[in-house]
Each structure stands twice: as C-alpha cells, then as structure tokens.
A and B are shown apart, each in its own frame.
Chain A
C-alpha cells in the first residue's frame, strides 16, 4: 500500500500498463513536454519517450479518430482530453466510430481504447468548461463509462479499462486530483467494472453517487447522522455497466433513495437509476425517489451562483428529509 493522490494513482495505472504492454500509449494535448495540463502525466515523457507519450495539436476529433484507427488494427491507446468538455468536438468520432465499428463490421473489429479526462464542475470555469459529460456517453451502447471517487478505485479501474477490449470512457475530476488515499502496489490490482462499493453503511435511506459527489454525499450523511438518520452511501464507480444489484439490495433495506450527481436533471444517468429502482424495487419504496443534481441551467461564473447550481451537501440533506417525510 502507498499513500497516493488521485492524480498519482491515475499516473501509476498508466505507467504500469505501458510497462506491461508495448501496444499501450498515451496521446493528448500537453501530455508530454508540458507534463500534463493537470500534471497527471508528469514524468511520463521522460520515462517512455516521444513515441509513446504523444503531444498533439488542438485537434480533438483528429487525435480521437487516429487513436480509434490505431485501436482497430491492434494498438491500445489512452486518449487524454484536457477536460471532457473538449470531447464535444470529437463526439462524432466517439459516437459513430468508437461505439459503432464493432457492430457495423459484423464483429470483425474491436476497439480497445481508453478516453480519460477530468469531468464536471471545477471552480468558476464558466459554462463551457463545467459539463458533466458522462450522461451523454452512458446513453450509447458500445461504450463503457467509469467514474471513480477514490485513488485506489482510480488505479484499479483504469488498469481494468486499459486491459479491456471495448472503448472505455474514464471520468476524473479536477477537484479530486489532490485527494489522498491508500492504493495497492500490486501491479495486477484491478477493480472490476460494473461493481459499486458501499462507501458508508446505513439503514434509513440510500444515497447513490459517483465521482466527486460521493464525497459530498458522505458529508451529507455525517450531517444526517447527527439527526439520527443513518444514510447508506453507494459509490457507483461504474456507470455503464451499472451495478443495479447493489442499488436494489440497499433500497430493499432502506425503502428510500436519493441520487446525488453532477449533471442536469433532464434525463441522464440519475434518471436511469431512478427508473431501475422503481422497476426493480417498486414494492419496497416508501417514498418517490428524489434527485439532487445541477440546477437546470448552464453553469454561471459567479462563485455564489455556481455554488447554487452545483449540488451541495445541504441539498442532499434536504432531499433525504423529504423521502423520510421529515421536511
């Protein structure tokens, strides 16, 4: 075990997998000489050279397509976007090529590729740099979407993603990069995709969250504990595949659920989870399932307004009180 920051855990996963497999390489804007826009790839250029740590011009669609092309003929690229916001200009490549090539080739091709970047809100970066992009991508069959909350999960899941034969989108968070945690050193430590973790056990209400919001949900659970409410916090880790078994088992126990996430309320992963709960645990619900998400507006720059739009622990607590009929 080592104490690592989230960004170091991501880096450790990439280094271990690149050492293990010559076909794996890292490509993206500022990943090499600049040492990474968020210093995730710091030192990797020196370690692997320009052949395998590749700086690109500002061409998201271009280097995304190139990496998909390389993947269908046998390489295993890791594509870093400076943030997931910029993947929007590569959306066609992800939607129409990464997610489709296997099926439209009748299964002849596979696309072993990882796309990774920080996602969601940062601090006052405005409406174009604060998107929660997992909702767009989790909608698409052919893709897998991961969103870990801890350094250990970041390392174990990223390694699993790099070894996977399908396109995996890996959601990090600028505000999580400095978070520290115990991380196994075993080079074969993998976290399987599609398995949620119980971040906190409780009996009164289930709070489902992922990525940065797991930490906010734990904060809310601490507040609720002082009111005598024991919240169970589920850290999904993987959005597609989604671990509905763990969610349903928890709701069967608590009879109430709140989904807390970044992203807008219209549709999306949060709505998908609500659908599964009402279908699979209908008879165990004592209250409608509620959500705490972004407010339904573009992200404002003003700090106070930004805090209003981004889910805070207090908003999660409020929703929990409602499902407990205490509001």
Chain B
C-alpha cells in the first residue's frame, strides 16, 4: 500500500520546511532510517530519514520547494504500484478547501486562553463631570452625592480635585435620576454564538479588515429581462404535465447565468489574490448567498457559464432547500470563484456586499423598481434594477470592474443573449 510521506516536524517551532536536497530519486529502494532528504528548518538543516521501507515512487516536492508541516512531499510504496488515485486525491485537497468552509470549526480555546481569561474588572468608571480632573474617590463621591465637579476647584497637583475639596459640600438637590445600571430590564439579552455565527464573524471581519473593497454600481433597464422571465415561465407552465414538477425561473437564476457569461468574457473579475500571484480561475463557480435561520450559507453553482438557465434554476432550488435544512456538504460550499447576493425580495433598492474571501468580487442585486422611464421622448412606466459590484482592489481595478459591468449590462438589457450564449 503506497504511503504519503509528509513534511516532518524537525524542530519544536517549525511550521514549514524547505527541501534543500533529495538524497533519493524516484525508483530508489528506501529502508528504515535511510536518509531521504535534507530539510532546511527555522533552526538548521536537518536530515529527513525514513520511518518506513519501500520504493520511492514519486517526489511531490522537488528540491527547493517550501512545504508546510504535514503536507505531502513524496509517495513511498511497492515498485510499480499504481498511485494514480492517490495522486489525484492529493491534488484535490488544496489547503483552500478547508479554509473556505463557512462552518470550519473555530480554533478551540487553548489552555492559556482559559486560564488567562481576565477577571471582571472594576465597575465601569463614569467620566468625570465636565472636564474636571479628580481622584477616583472624588468621582465616586460625586456620583453618590450628585455633585457637579465642574463647580469645584481642585487643590491637588495640576488642579486635581481631591477628597478634601469636596468633603463638607452639600449634596445636590434634587439628586439626578439614577441611570439605569445593571437592572434586569436594562440588561441586554445574551444570545450565545453558534458555530455558523462565529464563522461568519471571523470570515467577514477578516474580509473587511484585509481586503481593500471598492464599489461600482450600475442602474439597468430591467424591462427586457422581466418580460423574458414571464415568457419563459408561461411556456414552462404550458408545457408542464403531471409527471414533471413545474419549474419556474427566477430573475436571480437569469442573473447568475448572465454574470457567469460576463465572467467568462472578463476573467480578470473571476480571480483571487495570493501574496505570490493573482490566480485567474479557468472555471466559473458562482457562490449564491442563501439566508438560513442562523445566518448565511453560500452553496456553489459549478461551471455556471456552461450550464443552461434551466439547469441553473433547478440546481439553485435544490441547493437552497438543502441549505435551509442544513444538509449541504462542506465541499458544496467550498471553492467558489465569484458571489452573488440578492436582497431584492426584501425590498432593498441597492446595497454593497462584503467580499467572500478568497474570491475577488461579489455582485449585490437590488429589487426591480417600477418607475417612470424615458423611452424616446416619452415618459412611460418602466422597470429598473441596480447592480453593485464589490471588488478586491488587489485583483480587480476600477476599469476591469467597469468592463465586467458593461458586459453584464449588455446581457441583462438584451436577455436573449443569456439564453444563446
């Protein structure tokens, strides 16, 4: 049975190692304690010796590569063993997959966190009345007696009001109404954080703190896409028969397909930032935000540019219902390349969404508004729709974002192109 050799821990503090030299080549027999390679750690160049015997079938991390602890560096097995499936599974398990899980387990609190949790501090100290400098004891007296320290002159250093300056002063009459402090009614309701809420908090905070967002909004003519959708749904209802359930196509389904086509045309928006390089994805996998009882999930429609609108509609229906039932597998929410979030059904005209890392952009869809529009020289009733693109400026520049929105507008305003593409 072939065995994956992983980057070993060769020092107490190492997190990654660089293979500086392989002492074996593919096909070489390996014995226990044989020198496989030299590894440069944070401390020294160390020998990487084998714990097992076999034949070195494949070197996955050639000399010079930097590999994180526990990640594969080579495959050991019997001579001639078929390791194609093993290699495929290794390539499929990119580190991004684990990180992109919205429900990825939060890091368990370490013992140090538990032990070092700070004790409750002293009761919140109110700011001194006015700008008076006063000792903590004087402030307490002032609170208790309702004294206005702005009226007291301090005899301490730098004009500090000290106890002797207020002792003997009459209490203010009437005393100001006590502020609600920690009575039951004034206390907030504490709702414990679910795992999903923690994941959302962590990922979106990370996004807003580390991703430089900017926003581009277009207001498109929604009459054509609205009419097209009505026509499709009328045709589908007419063609429905007892054996097949009625499928309806939503505006969102059309926008997912339209965005996918626009992304295929402007792939720079279907991209991801990494410190080493911008990764332009070859596939268009669109994450669709679905509100669920505890928060938000983002199932992914794979290869959306290559699927029909009908297929997309059916898939989104199916993914949403499983999302609400919390039956999605983590892999179904991982590795999107672009997101769409739609709050139109809540009556929102327009909004700016937070990017879902490591994706490079997200499209926020508002409601279709009925309003007077200019057609030729006439003001007629019409429909408009606002679409806002949030971009990671490290990946998508303004001109590129505008280019995507131009392509998207062309599709939405001439929606038969969505069906023909």
Contact = CB atoms under 8 A, between A and B. Distances in A.
| A–B in direct contact per CB < 8 Å | yes
A285 interface: yes
A284 interface: yes
Contacts of B227: none
A134 to B, nearest CB: 25
A283 B125 contact: yes
A7 interface: no
Nearest to B137: A286
Contacts of B140: 283-284
A286 B162 contact: yes
B139 A283 contact: yes
Interface string B118-151: 0001110100000000011111100000000000
A203 to B, nearest CB: 12
A248 to B, nearest CB: 11
B155 A255 contact: no
A158 B126 CA distance: 46
B156 interface: yes
B163 interface: yes
B25 interface: no
Contact of B138 (A280, A282, A286): A286
A12 to B, nearest CB: 41
Contacts of A280: 122
Interface string A69-80: 000000000000
A282 B136 CA distance: 6
Nearest to B161: A286
A51 interface: no
Contact of B122 (A255, A282, A286, A287): A282
A304 interface: no
B202 interface: no
Interface in B174-225: none
B202 to A, nearest CB: 31
Given A255-B163, A325-B162, A325-B164, A285 B137 contact: yes
Contacts of B135: 285-287
A226 interface: no
Given A255-B137, A325-B155, A325-B156, A287 B123 contact: no
A279 interface: yes
B122 A284 contact: no
Contacts of B138: 286
B137 A279 contact: no
B136 A283 contact: yes
A255 B156 CA distance: 15
A29 to B, nearest CB: 40
Given A255-B137, A325-B162, A325-B164, A283 B122 contact: yes
B127 to A, nearest CB: 14
Nearest to B138: A286
A286 B162 CA distance: 6
A279 B137 CA distance: 13
Contacts of A279: 121-122
Contacts of B136: 282-286
Contacts of B121: 279
A40 to B, nearest CB: 40
B156 A282 contact: no
> Which of B121, B125, B137, B140 has the largest number of chain A CB atoms within 10 A?
B137
A286 B125 contact: no
Nearest to B139: A283
Given A255-B137, A325-B155, A282 B162 contact: no
Contacts of B155: 325
A283 B123 contact: yes
B367 to A, nearest CB: 54
A196 B157 CA distance: 33
Contacts of B137: 255, 283-286
A255 B157 CA distance: 17
Interface in B107-125: 121-123, 125
A242 to B, nearest CB: 16
B358 to A, nearest CB: 44
Nearest to A327: B157
Contacts of B163: 255, 286
A279 B136 CA distance: 12
Nearest to A280: B122
A33 to B, nearest CB: 49
Nearest to B143: A283
Contacts of B122: 279-280, 282-283
A280 B157 CA distance: 24
Contacts of A255: 137, 163
A255 B163 CA distance: 9
Contacts of B123: 283
Contacts of A287: 135, 156, 162
A159 to B, nearest CB: 34
A285 to B, nearest CB: 5
> Which of A279, A282, A286 has the largest number of chain B CB atoms within 10 A?
A286
A255 B162 CA distance: 10
Interface in A267-303: 279-280, 282-287
A273 B136 CA distance: 18
20 contacts: A255-B137, A255-B163, A279-B121, A282-B125, A282-B136, A283-B123, A283-B125, A283-B136, A283-B137, A283-B139, A283-B140, A284-B136, A285-B135, A285-B137, A286-B135, A286-B162, A287-B135, A287-B156, A325-B156, A325-B164
Given A283-B140, A285-B136, A286-B163, 12 more contacts: A279-B121, A279-B122, A282-B122, A282-B136, A283-B123, A283-B137, A284-B136, A286-B135, A287-B162, A325-B155, A325-B162, A325-B164
Interface of A: 255, 279-280, 282-287, 325
* CB-CB nearest 7 A-B residue pairs: A286-B137, A286-B163, A283-B140, A286-B135, A255-B137, A285-B136, A283-B136
